[in-house]
Amino acid sequence: MSASASSSTGRYSVFAIAREAMRLHSGWKRAWQSPEPKKKYQVVIVGAGGHGLATAYYLGKNYGITDVAIIEKGWLGGGNTGRNTTIIRSNYLQDPSAAIYDKALKLYENLSQDLNYNIMFSPRGLLMLAQTEHEVRGYKRTVYANQLQGVSTEYITPQRIKEMLPIINIDGPRYPVLGALYQERGGTARHDAVAWGYARACSAMGMHIIQNCEVTGIETANGQVRAVNTGKGRIECDKLALVVAGHSSVMAEMAGFRLPIESLALQALVSEPIKPCCDLVIMANTVHGYLSQSDKGEMVIGGGTDGFNNYTQRGSWQHVEETVRALIETFPMLSRLKMLRQWGGIVDMTGDRSPILSTTPVGNIFVNCGWGTGGFKAIPGSGWAMAELVAKGQPGPLAADFGLNRFIEGRFIDESVAAGVAH
């Protein structure tokens, strides 16, 4: 963490906790400031979720660009960052995907130390169940690809899966467990803490985090961005980064271009808390269900997107039923649990189910979107690559293959076809 960051907010440590305990915790400073916007910034980032905040952080850390405003129409981390199942992995088949997700995983592994903020990263291991012969062949292919990419994964047998996860039924009536792709480094992190940690570090570098500030228009002139109009007034900028997930097409339309994405609701739920019984992350792609257990004991369950375009943050009950019904076949103990709460997020899906990190038809407007159902795991790598794109005006190695021009040239990075899942 930079000296400016640590001196502005104070460093969290065991000594700081002891000191504050002696004075009844009256000396803690705000984790981040909430200033009024200036008239102009070098860079304006629209979207104060994980990807937007990570972009701002690495702009400051890697390129010394701190005249930055991160503007958010709601509250910090209130979009998809706080509405996901927190899965982190990097065992993707395609080379560009494996590169950016493994960069993200490596950054996650030291992110608490880097930010001086506990993101509760838990590399508990991740299983992707093979429940059809097609998946068996696909996952073995992924293991070979990952070995060439330098990503550590392995294919394991049903017997080993049962030893690692006693609650699983490997002899399911419809889809028996035939094996699994296992990434020991995979796991979870606390989604809110990731956003809060980045926000604290950005604020300490002098960046402005402006909440409750909806963008109502984007001004351009001679093919270049000039300003954004917001609920808190007009803000001029030299460069503009759109990092707003499911609302990316709305922002693009304001700037006068279109994006090849569609917006869908993705929902999840948690059960009532129970004693520890599942210390892994499990993905069952054939039945499209995902499962892990939180630190509070809740079973965290996710599924696929709704089958129609929408902007709801709730989702349909039909999908909850389909997801839970499918998972109960593989994990019968789930049938005895009650649902505690349920929610949805708005995800942005591209045709090849891979993200867009790109320049746009408007000069100095950059876009980061299209992460679909797997955006949380990519946050540090996405921010790293997007910061380079914004700072230099052209993509670096991590973002080079994810440009908008791939849809014109037919260079698809089709993870949904290649790996059988886009998560």
Please state whether beta strands 208-210 and 68-71 pair in parallel, antiparallel, or not at all (unpaired): parallel
Q: Are residues 107 and 197 in the same domain?
A: yes
- Least confidently predicted of 117-131, 226-240, 310-324, 339-353: 310-324
Q: Are residues 197 and 309 in the same domain?
A: no
Residue 27 domain-assigned (yes or no): no
Q: Are residues 271 and 344 in the same domain?
A: yes
Q: Are residues 358 and 346 in the same domain?
A: no
Residue 20 domain-assigned (yes or no): no
Q: What is the pLDDT of residue 416?
A: 72
Q: What is the pLDDT of residue 97?
A: 95
Q: Are residues 272 and 398 in the same domain?
A: no
Residue 338 domain-assigned (yes or no): yes
Q: Are residues 321 and 205 in the same domain?
A: no
Instruction: Please say which residue of 331, 350, 369 terminates a domain.
Output: 350
Q: Are residues 202 and 247 in the same domain?
A: yes
Instruction: Please say which residue of 307, 323, 350 terminates a domain.
Output: 350
The domain total for the chain is 2
Q: Are residues 287 and 411 in the same domain?
A: no
Q: What is the pLDDT of residue 331?
A: 94
Contacts with 18 (C-beta within 8 Å, 6 or more apart), sequence order: none
Q: Are residues 203 and 342 in the same domain?
A: no
Number of residues that this document lists for the chain: 423
Question: CA 8 to CA 397: how far, in whole Å?
Answer: 33
Q: Are residues 170 and 200 in the same domain?
A: no
Print the domain residue range for 368. 37-117+190-260+352-418
Two structure tokens written together for 155: 């294919």
Q: What is the pLDDT of residue 417?
A: 55
Residue 170 domain-assigned (yes or no): yes
Residue 234 domain-assigned (yes or no): yes
Q: Are residues 107 and 237 in the same domain?
A: yes
Whether the predicted pLDDT of 321 surpasses 50: yes
Whether the predicted pLDDT of 371 surpasses 90: yes
The pLDDT mean for the chain works out to 92
Convert the pLDDT of each residue in 339-356 to its tens digit. 999 988 999 999 999 999
Other beta carbons less than 10 A from residue 51's beta carbon: 33
pTM of the predicted model as reported, rounded to 2 decimal places: 0.94
SS (H, E, C) the chain: CCHHHHHHHCCCCHHHHHHHHHCCCCCCCCCCCCCCCCCEEEEEEECCCHHHHHHHHHHHHHHCCCCEEEECCCCCCCCHHHCCCCEECCCCCCHHHHHHHHHHHHHHHCHHHHHCCCCCCECCCEEEEECCHHHHHHHHHHHHHHHHHCCCCEEECHHHHHHHCCCCCCCCCCCCCCEEEEECCCEECCHHHHHHHHHHHHHHCCCEEECCCCEEEEEEECCEEEEEEECCEEEEEEEEEECCHHHHHHHHHHHCCCCCEEEEEEEEEEECCCCCCCCCEEEECCCCEEEEECCCCCEEEEEEEEEEECCCCCCCHHHHHHHHHHHHHHCHHHHHCCEEEEEEEEEEEECCCCCEEEECCCECEEEEECCHHHCHHHHHHHHHHHHHHHHHCCCCCCCHHHCCHHHHHCCCCCHHHHCCCCC
Residue 423 domain-assigned (yes or no): no
Question: CA 39 to CA 61: how far, in whole Å?
Answer: 24
Instruction: Please say which residue of 300, 333, 350 terminates a domain.
Output: 350
Residue 383 domain-assigned (yes or no): yes
Q: Are residues 108 and 234 in the same domain?
A: yes
Q: What is the pLDDT of residue 4?
A: 39
Question: CA 386 to CA 303: how far, in whole Å?
Answer: 28
